């Protein structure tokens, strides 16, 4: 296994597994985007990834985006916030994030919109949906998503909805994990039938190091991969 024990080798292996999962699902290999998740890793690790052509990184905390984007300024990097966002950090996200995938409630949407108006910016967002019953997971209940999309479309024009995001249940049972991904896709399919003006639901961000192949089989367009690229995180990072 020494051949994959470099970042280049690990990324190549992930790309191959993405391509294989796409083939099994009868999908085009370029229908799934890899989002490398650099949370908790330092700028040296990000530089190593940049040297391999990666320019877009997932982070869990606005503070880390701020520090890393300052250290790596001017290099055309994109910072994607995937972690739970407190409303009092909306200003930081509106200023520093390229995209937020963890939008899960109306007061956060309102706070982001207000800050984005101040910054003169718009922001691509995904709605984080809770597809499992695990109390530790964030996300909006599926039933609440239709009204939330209408609220954003009507009242918060700086927020450009591009799709949905979820974290599957932590379970050794692949069918339990698959059910979470399927719930997100079926919700998306139903919502697309409602044709809410200004809302796109093309993107489904689902799948992490331990479950991305199942997610691809269920329709993921974006897999968020941390450990399998950067290695084990040395300090815990609550989701």
Ligand X SMILES: *Cc1c(COP(=O)(O)O)cnc(C)c1O
Q: Where on the chain is the footprint of ligand X (CB under 6 A)?
A: 37, 39, 60, 82-83, 167, 208-210, 224-228, 239
What's the CA gap between 114 and 27, in Å, rounded?
39
What's the CA gap between 68 and 62, in Å, rounded?
10
> Closest residue (Cβ) to ligand X?
226
Residue with Cβ nearer ligand X (10 or 188): 10
Compute the least distance from the CB of residue 169 to ligand X, in Å: 14
- Cβ proximity of 149 and 192 under 8 Å: no
Phi, psi of 45 (to 5 degrees): -65, -40
Compute the least distance from the CB of residue 39 to ligand X, in Å: 6
Compute the least distance from the CB of residue 226 to ligand X, in Å: 3
- Cβ proximity of 181 and 166 under 8 Å: yes
Compute the least distance from the CB of residue 102 to ligand X, in Å: 7
Q: Which long-range contacts (CB under 8 A, 24 or more apart) does 39-47 make?
A: 39/64, 39/82, 39/83, 39/226, 39/233, 39/237, 40/64, 40/233, 40/234, 40/235, 40/237, 41/230, 41/233, 43/68, 43/71, 43/72, 45/7, 45/230, 46/72, 46/77, 47/72
Residue with Cβ nearer ligand X (85 or 149): 85
Residue with Cβ nearer ligand X (11 or 228): 228
Residue with Cβ nearer ligand X (9 or 157): 9
Residue with Cβ nearer ligand X (48 or 119): 48
Compute the least distance from the CB of residue 120 to ligand X, in Å: 28
């Amino acid at each position: 296994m020494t051949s994959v024990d470099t970042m280049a080798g690990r990324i190549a292996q992930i790309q191959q597994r993405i391509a294989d999962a796409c083939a099994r699902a009868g999908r085009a290999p370029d229908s799934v985007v890899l989002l490398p998740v650099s949370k908790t890793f330092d700028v040296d690790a990000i530089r190593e990834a940049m040297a391999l052509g990666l320019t877009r990184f997932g982070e869990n905390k606005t503070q880390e985006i701020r520090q890393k984007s300052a250290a790596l300024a001017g290099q055309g990097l994109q910072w994607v916030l995937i972690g739970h966002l407190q409303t009092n950090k909306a200003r930081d996200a509106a200023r520093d994030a390229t995209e937020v995938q963890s939008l899960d409630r109306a007061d956060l949407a309102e706070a982001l919109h207000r800050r984005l108006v101040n910054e003169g910016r718009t922001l691509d967002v995904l709605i984080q949906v809770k597809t499992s019953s695990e109390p530790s997971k964030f996300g909006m209940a599926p039933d609440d998503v239709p009204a939330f999309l209408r609220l954003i479309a009507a009242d918060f024009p700086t927020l450009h909805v591009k799709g949905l995001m979820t974290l599957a249940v932590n379970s050794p049972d692949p069918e339990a994990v698959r059910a979470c991904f399927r719930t997100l896709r079926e919700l998306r399919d139903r919502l697309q039938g409602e044709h809410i003006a200004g809302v796109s639901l093309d993107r489904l961000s689902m799948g992490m190091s331990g479950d991305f192949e199942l997610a691809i089989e269920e329709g993921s367009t974006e897999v968020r991969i941390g450990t399998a690229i950067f290695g084990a995180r040395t300090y815990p990072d609550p989701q």
